Structures are given as structure tokens and as C-alpha cells.
Amino acid sequence: MMKAINIRLILAAAIIATGSASWAVDGSGATGEEKLERDVIKTETGDLTITCIGHGTLMFEYQDKVIHVDPVGREADYTKLPKADLVLITHEHGDHLDPKALALVRQEQTQIVLTKTCAEKVRSGIVMKNGDVRTVLGFKIEAVPAYNIVHQRSNGQPFHPKGRGNGYVVTFGKTRVYIAGDTENTPEMKKLKKIDIAFLPMNLPYTMTPAMVADAARAFKPKILYPYHYGRTDPKELVRLLKDAGDIEVRIRKLQ
């Protein structure tokens, strides 16, 4: 009996240490409800709640504001998720831009930040080019180039050409969060400064290998690193590659 109690205590301590929990999307407690992983990050200006919806799709909650990133209907039932104050769209591919999901989270006052190409499919958005910096709803947003250097289609064109896609650095009070979008370990990424939390894509052949992610992480040193958009890539390989990088905490969530 004592052994069983000790095991339960160890498991409980592990949950508290990671800050991860399952979140009932509809809040009803009904049988069969969808659950998503959620982390609560303590910041100097309040809690930042990160909901890991799936693939490249995320949601942030901070000071009564809700930010959806690349909402896509195949990843969650958006009729059961909070409406957006702000939406960030990284690029136009269907696993990142879903007009139907966007319509479900959009309100009259919702602000949408997106690329020029995405704006051809979405009305009334705020277009940001690579390198742009804007403040929207009190959030400083920096558009970071997102593109391929190595991985190409059979015709020799990169999966993500330079200039079309954005990553975004969003500042929550003093906490800087980088959502990279679909990209490789570009020079612009490796020059980033003071990133507290980073989401880096890791699926082949479209984005980065674990080695590329590790290379980028060692360059700009996020305090917390989430591999996301990782498909069939084993995220444990990234943990192995960064095992001696004690200043970077790698958090694995269900973001295939």
C-alpha cells in the first residue's frame, strides 16, 4: 500500500512541475468531451495559458484576451472554444488557414494578423510583411520570416518560399513568445533575442529536422521550447540532442 501511495505522489509532483493539464473544452464534464493539453505560465503581469490544440494550432489566454494561432477545424471543434480577440495566421496552406474555423472564432471586433497571400482569402485582416512590427490590442507583434533553405519540392521550389510566410513574436507583458510557423532554422530565427517560449516546427520534408531545431534553439536560447507541427518525427530525438542544454526546457505536447 505504501508503495502505491508513493507512486501516486510522484505522478502528482510531475504534473505540478510541468504545469500541464487536460482541459475540458466545453466545460460540461459530459462523457466523451474533447480534452486538450494546457500549460499555465506564470509571468510578471499575470498567467499566460497555452492550449496545445494540435499540429500548428494553438490558443493563448492572457489578461482576459484570447489569441488563436492558425485555427484549423480538423484539430478541434471550434464551436466549443472561446471566441478570439486576436487571430494570428502564419501562411496560406490548408493546415494553417481554414476559413471555416476562422469564421467560428471570429467576432465583429476580432483583429486578424496575417500575410499578404492570406489576405486574398480573408476579409479585413492586418497584413504584416516579414520584418514588420506592430502593436495590436496592446500586444507587440513582430513578423519573423518563415521559409525553407534546404527542403524543396520535386520541381526545385522550396516548400515555403521566402517572403510568403510569417512567424510571430508576441510579447505578453514582458514575456516574449515565438511561434515560428513553417520554416527552417533561418539566419533571422537564429538572431532572435530574449525569447522566453518558442514553438518550432519539426516535420519532414516540409520544415526542420530535430538537428535543425536543436541548432536554432542553441543559437537563440528560448527558456521553454515546444516542438510543434512535428508529424511522425520523434520529439524524443530533440530531447536527446539538447540534453546538455540545461538552460532550455523542452516540453513535449500532442502537437503532431
Whichever domain contains 155, its CATH number is: 3.60.15.10
Q: What is the pLDDT of residue 73?
A: 96
The pLDDT of residue 34: 56
- Categorize the per-residue pLDDT at 160 as very low, low, confident or very high, splitting at 50, 70 and 90: confident
Please say if the pLDDT value at position 154 is more than 70. Answer: yes
pLDDT of residue 137: 98
Whether residue 44 is contained in a domain is answered as yes
pTM: 0.87
φ/ψ of 150, rounded to 5, equals -105, -50
The share of the chain scoring above pLDDT 90, in percent, equals 77
pLDDT at position 158 is 76
60: CB partners within 8 A, 6+ apart: 48, 49, 50, 51, 66, 67, 69, 170, 172, 177
**Does the pLDDT at position 49 exceed 80?**
yes
Q: Are 230 and 203 within 8 A, CB to CB?
A: yes
Q: Is 132 within the bounds of a domain?
A: yes
166 confidence band (pLDDT: 50, 70, 90): very high
pLDDT of residue 13: 32
Assigned domain for 218 exists: yes
Average pLDDT over residues 235-245: 97
Range(s) of the domain holding residue 135: 34-250
184 neighbors 205 (Cβ within 8 angstroms): no
9 within domain boundaries: no
Average pLDDT, the chain: 87
pLDDT at position 237 is: 97
Question: Considering only 5-19, 77-91, 167-181, which range has the smallest mean pLDDT?
Answer: 5-19
Q: Is residue 157 part of a domain?
A: yes
Is pLDDT of 5 > 60? Answer: no
Overall domain count for the chain? 1
Q: Is the pLDDT of residue 163 over 80?
A: yes
**Reported confidence tier of residue 82, pLDDT bands at 50, 70, 90:** very high
Q: Using CA atoms, how far apart are residues 189 and 219, in angstroms rounded to an integer?
A: 9
Dihedral angle over CA of 174, 114, 250, 239, nearest 10: -150
Residue 33 pLDDT > 60: no
Report the pLDDT averaged over residues 45-65: 97
For residue 10, tell me if it sits in a domain. Answer: no
Q: Which of 13-27, 128-142, 200-214 shows the lowest mean pLDDT across its residues?
A: 13-27
pLDDT greater than 90 at residue 50:
yes
Question: In sequence order, which residues have a C-beta less than 8 Å from that of residue 25 and are 6 or more positions away?
Answer: 33, 34, 35, 36, 76, 77, 80, 81
Distance in angstroms (rounded) separating the CA atoms of residues 216 and 26: 37
